[in-house]
Amino acid sequence: MNDVECAVELAGGAGDVLKRVRAQALERGIGGRELKDLGDRAAQDHLSSGLARLRPNDAVLSEEAEDDGGRVSHQRVWIIDPLDGTREYSEHRDDWAVHVALWEAGRLSAGAVALPGLGTVLDSGPHGQAAGAAPGEPIRIAVSRTRAPAVVEQVARRLCATLVPMGSAGYKICAVIRGEVDAYIHAGGQYEWDSAAPVAVARARGFHTSRIDGTPLLYNRPDPYLPDLVVCGPHLAQRILEAIAEGDLP
């Protein structure tokens, strides 16, 4: 099994576990915080035991595990978010995801994002897919449905774009890849596990991925805080980055 196949197997398996956990919780009348915790724990257990079995020599950075920083000196580090869009998962919505990425010697070398609500897993393997169709007007920008950053609202006004609220960073990046929206912009806080796997998939298919100031998204840093990003078709990147750079000017 190569690394991409490994990522697909693990993300898809964790997605199946999460769906089972949620169905059983519904039958037992469990929801809210308890369901979020059950899901986080079950998906983390599935991924950590799978990585220990399939890739025992690699390091792991997970949203749901202690990080002692030892991974920084490793050449191969799996960056995982067992349940991205925890809130939406607990609300029985479809916009949540499982992220499994591999960072290898300075770059993301493999990734898979399970979208269990849509019954699919997207991966960073060779697909020969063009990087998105030219966007129609107005441009559609995916944004957090619960904490839309002010900068995204400003950019939408400048570009006369439509905002499309959704949960989960992975689900939103996959919405760009799937052509449901033209861009995803986020600012104000996030961590490497929120974007590593979907960014690996987006890059493999030719999409633009960067910080909102246009600099590269870097992974396996000592501090995994990675607060902002832009993902869009390459033809839109310059317009969006310029609109962001205009800052608070009217």
Binding residues for Mg(2+): 63, 81, 83-84, 194
Answer for the pair 144, 151: CB distance below 8 angstroms, yes or no.
Answer: no
Number of other residues whose CB lies within 10 A of the CB of residue 223? 10
DSSP helix/strand/coil, 250? coil
- Binding segment for ligand A3P among 111-119, 122-130, 185-193, 207-215 (CB under 6 A)? 185-193
- Nearest distance in Å: CB 49, Mg ion: 20
In 3D, which of 61, 51, 47, 55 has the Cα closest to residue 12?
47
Of residues 44-73, which lie at the interface with ligand A3P (CB under 6 A)?
Answer: 63
Of residues 104-143, which lie at the interface with ligand A3P (CB under 6 A)?
Answer: none
Count of residues binding Mg ion (CB under 5 A)? 3
Asked if 192 interacts with Mg ion (CB under 5 A), we say no
Q: What is the dihedral of CA 100, 104, 106, 109, to 10 degrees?
A: -60
- Nearest distance in Å: CB 234, ligand A3P: 23
* Residue 153 phi, psi (nearest 5): -65, -40
In 3D, which of 120, 100, 175, 122 has the Cα closest to residue 145?
175
Tell me the two tokens of residue 70: 């030892």
Which of 81, 88 has the CB closer to Mg ion?
Answer: 81
Asked if 84 interacts with Mg ion (CB under 5 A), we say yes
Can you list the alpha helix ranges (DSSP code H) found in the chain? 3-27, 32-54, 86-90, 150-159, 169-177, 192-204, 234-245
CB-nearest residue to ligand A3P: 189
Out of Mg ion, ligand A3P, none, what residue 188 binds, judged by CB under 5 to 8 A for its kind, is ligand A3P
- Nearest distance in Å: CB 248, Mg ion: 28
Asked if 84 interacts with ligand A3P (CB under 6 A), we say yes
Which of 85, 135 has the CB closer to ligand A3P?
Answer: 85
Judged by the rule CB under 6 A, the positions of this chain that interact with ligand A3P are 63, 81, 84-86, 144, 146-147, 167-169, 188-190, 194
